[in-house]
A and B are shown apart, each in its own frame.
Chain A
């Protein structure tokens, strides 16, 4: 039965993304569309979190998926497909940031209406989110990447090391300093109010 091949080795159901990528390597547009639509929300979120520059998001996302299309035939099954794609996204984001030299600043306070609390949202949660957006904007791209990949994308430390192409201990250290800076910024913000 076909659906048997759509179970991952971790006991949780998962699409056989490696097979999908194999079809992308054979230039099947349907398969590429499926992969694109599956990954778009996660990549968009990751690139946004890492760049904090809305103007860059779509461009980096397209560049990332174009590399996936071109390089699908090089995927060698040593990592999960998602780790492989996020590693490409990470490199493309760093490249784009370098190109823009991190000069285009986006004032997220202008975007406050997008974060306005709905009737069901606790004010406290809203406040924390607002501070968090501000504070994350002050971290380095690498620190933001570790935070995004851990808390939002749910990657294990070892997988983040593969994505960022660095030792596991470097990931732990980056996360440690990112958290410390985040805490300091959030505390300073609360005191200032």
Chain B
């Protein structure tokens, strides 16, 4: 990699100058970062340039704003998709077996057959290995929990977040992800109420069940 970097206009300085934006955003690969950092230690011009780019990045970050229209926008998107689905079904029923509809129904059949095979194998496995009795003390009993994916508003305070989690008896078990989502563990018994409460709470932009069959 560094060989390729050095070939670029034959100058380490020129190549480092071109790599600086990705030093600033922290995505350089190790060998590139080593090259850049080594050069920065001896080049005041590149150090000034890196500093300017950090200022540029922080000014850029500050432009972020909240998105109050997300739910309305989703409803619009959903309508568009539903309309397209209806149109596609109408087209399929007219033309018979062309296009998407056919490919997808074939695909669904394949998944259904695959699922039955998996189920059959599962049953066979259970029959071969009879269940082993597990003894637990009362203190070790674990209430069943369900996972929810939650995205908070970027401007929500830590105190607000904490109070939302406490109110729902929820714990963060994963996150924040690259997209700012958290995975919460919530007692299964009250998950529907917690989900609705979070959806209604200001400062929460998305709440979904992690499993595919989310209740509605």
Residues of A that sit less than 8 Å from B by CB: 2-3, 6-8, 12-15, 23, 26-34, 36-42, 44-45, 58, 61-62, 65-66, 69-70, 73, 82, 114, 121, 125, 128-129, 132-133, 147, 150-152, 154-157, 159, 169, 172-173, 175-176, 179, 182-183
Contact = CB atoms under 8 A, between A and B. Distances in A.
B95 interface: no
A13 B175 contact: yes
B55 interface: yes
A14 B61 CA distance: 22
A174 B60 CA distance: 18
Contacts, number: 145
Interface in B127-144: none
A131 B113 CA distance: 60
A143 to B, nearest CB: 12
Given A3-B174, A37-B205, A58-B73, A151 B21 contact: yes
Interface stretch (B39-47, B74-82, B157-165): B74-82
Given A66-B84, A150-B21, A151-B60, A33 B149 contact: no
A66 B67 contact: no
Given A15-B149, A152-B61, A66 B24 contact: no
28 contacts: A8-B178, A12-B177, A13-B175, A15-B179, A23-B212, A26-B111, A30-B209, A30-B212, A36-B74, A37-B70, A37-B74, A37-B205, A38-B181, A41-B70, A42-B179, A58-B73, A73-B103, A82-B178, A114-B65, A125-B58, A125-B62, A128-B59, A129-B62, A150-B22, A151-B56, A151-B60, A172-B18, A183-B52
Contact of B22 (A3, A42, A156): A156
B181 A27 contact: no
A152 B206 CA distance: 22
Contact of A176 (B18, B85, B103, B111): B18
A172 B60 contact: no
A152 B73 contact: no
Contact of A37 (B29, B63, B151): B151
Interface in B2-29: 8, 17-19, 21-22, 24-29
Nearest to B76: A62
A2 B84 CA distance: 33
Nearest to A154: B25
A2 B151 CA distance: 19
Nearest to B104: A27
B205 A65 contact: no
B93 interface: no
B194 interface: no
Contact of B147 (A2, A27, A28): A2
Contacts of A65: 77
A37 B205 CA distance: 8
A15 B206 CA distance: 14
Given A132-B59, A172-B18, A30 B208 contact: yes
Residue of A8, A13, A152, A169 with most partner-chain B CB within 10 A: A13
B128 to A, nearest CB: 24
